[in-house]
Amino acid sequence: MRALIVDDDAGIRWILTRVLKEEGFDVLEAENLADAKALQSQTIDLVFLDVFLPDGNGMQALSSGVFSAPVIMLTAETTFGHAAEAYREGAMEYLPKPFDLDEVRRLAQRVLGSVKKPKKQAKISKKQQAAEKEKKSMIIGRSPAMQVLFRTLGRVAPSDLTVLITGESGTGKELVAHELHRLSHRKDKSFIAINTAAIPAELLESELFGHEKGAFTGADKHRAGRFEDADGGTLFLDEIGDMPMVLQSKMLRVLEMGMVQRIGGNEEKKVNVRLLAATHQNLQQKIRDGQFREDLYYRLNVIPVHIPPLRERRDDIPELAATLLQQASDELSMTAPILLDHSVDLLKRHDWYGNVRELKNVMRRLAVLTPGASITVSDVALALGHDGGQQSLGGLESLDEAVTRCLRAYMDKLGYAEATGLHHHLLSMVEPALLNLVLDKCRGNQLKAANMLGLNRNTVRKLIRQYEIDPTEFKD
């Protein structure tokens, strides 16, 4: 299946491409009607068409019959008149901006469902496998905050603009930097990342700008710095807020002039580097405290990108958790256990002060330590460091999870001995307990108990005799 996206907004195209590829579509892109018409020679199964395009009106193109495939109109105009006109001209659907990604998925599935799938699937090529792996490594999130982030990345990635990425530790700032590089025209060049907080101040200057032989004690040979290594590519400076003041002025010159000078050297070298920076600190506060240069801040903050903490986008946790669990299981060559709904609820209630990094570690822990095929609330509580008591579970454990937990403990007691007649044995343990509870609820009334259990009254009487239960004990 192939989809065509016709929109002059690179951010919109990027988001739609990402979602449609997840749904199994090959995707073509056009930023105007001329490009879209040139692609009509190819087989296209679905079109996303913007109304206002640089070289014409999408609604008029729809009415003129340019597109033979089903068309979904995209527009920022959310009036009833626009919607009515779209349907009148033959649009399959009308999608106002900003749109819901789940709605895009639903529409994609609707088109997929209308086409009969071949019985035998073609063998996936290595290139497709690599693309699938790359897709899984992308930033995940359906929340409004993440959709804003995706749109920003889609617009900014093709440019050479400097980007300042902010967010708490563990939110994935380096992942965003990688994504910006991957989607840029520099993607085939170097991507070099440095954590400025992890390198001693006296070594950081040499690491960034390089040095000449004999520049200082121990400099026994020439060494290029990271700016030179990243020439033509991207340099990512993590924790830029920890950079010493003495280096900030030198960094400012690189950003202004595009020139670097090695320690101990006399010549400057021109470098073509796209700079991405990240920090979890409040740089404006550091400026007020005299710990960060204001002029450098404005040079870095050309395009600000903020990644919200995980606790502010809890609806993204289920998809993130499932993806990270699968990744951890694949790395360990294990079958991924199933995350039960109540287990996901407990994950969503956790505050995740370590953000995605903490979630990743928890999912790796669950992949290794979960003893059964399903991850229960107890498993999650243990992985989160709770004491395992039911009070810590917030009352979220379901009946099936409680039964699974108890049966697992019982099976563990059996050890490696071969159990025979286990079904009958367990039934003989559960049935009398259930009968006692129901008779107590019904105050010994066997007819009411039979109705509650959904059994014949005679069957209930037989079970009462079999397990030697006295119904009269429950009358009071």
**Range picked from 91-100, 213-222, 332-341, 402-411 for highest mean pLDDT:** 332-341
Mean pLDDT of the chain, nearest integer = 83
Query: Which tops the pLDDT comparison, 78 or 448?
Result: 448
Task: Give ranges for CATH 3.40.50.2300 in the chain.
Answer: 2-116
**Residue 44: how many other CB atoms lie within 10 Å:** 19
SS3 (DSSP) at 279: strand
Over residues 191-208, the mean pLDDT reads 89
Residue 420 pLDDT grade (very low, low, confident, very high; cuts 50, 70, 90): low
Q: Mind giving me the DSSP string for 197-208? A: TSS-HHHHHHHH
Per-residue pLDDT band at 83 (split at 50, 70, 90)? low
Contact 236, 278 (CB under 8 A): yes
Domain 422-474, CATH homologous superfamily name and number: Homeodomain-like (1.10.10.60)
Domain topology for 2-116: Rossmann fold (3.40.50)
Sequence-ordered alpha helix ranges (H) in 95-143: 101-113, 126-136
Convert the pLDDT of each residue in 287-319 to its tens digit: 999 999 999 999 999 999 999 999 999 989 998
* CATH for 311-414, options being 1.10.8.60, 1.10.3720.10, 3.40.50.11540, 2.40.50.460: 1.10.8.60
Alpha-carbon gap, residue 168 to 235, rounded angstroms = 21
Q: Where do the CATH 1.10.8.60 domains begin and end in the chain?
A: 311-414
**Which DSSP string corresponds to 335-391?**
PPPEE-HHHHHHHHHS--TTHHHHHHHHHHHHHHH--SSEE-HHHHHHHTT----GG
Mean pLDDT, residues 66-78: 79
Flag the least confident range among 38-42, 280-284, 351-355: 38-42
Answer yes or no: is pLDDT of 413 > 70.
Answer: no
* 397 has a pLDDT exceeding 60: no
pLDDT, average across residues 4-16 = 88
CB 173 within 8 A of CB 238: yes
**2 and 43 in contact (C-beta within 8 Å)?**
yes
pLDDT band at 129 (very low <50, low <70, confident <90, very high): very low
Topology of domain 144-306, CATH? Rossmann fold (3.40.50)
Quick one: tokens of 111?
């088109």
Residues 140-170: tens digit of each pLDDT: 777 888 878 887 888 888 899 999 999 999 9
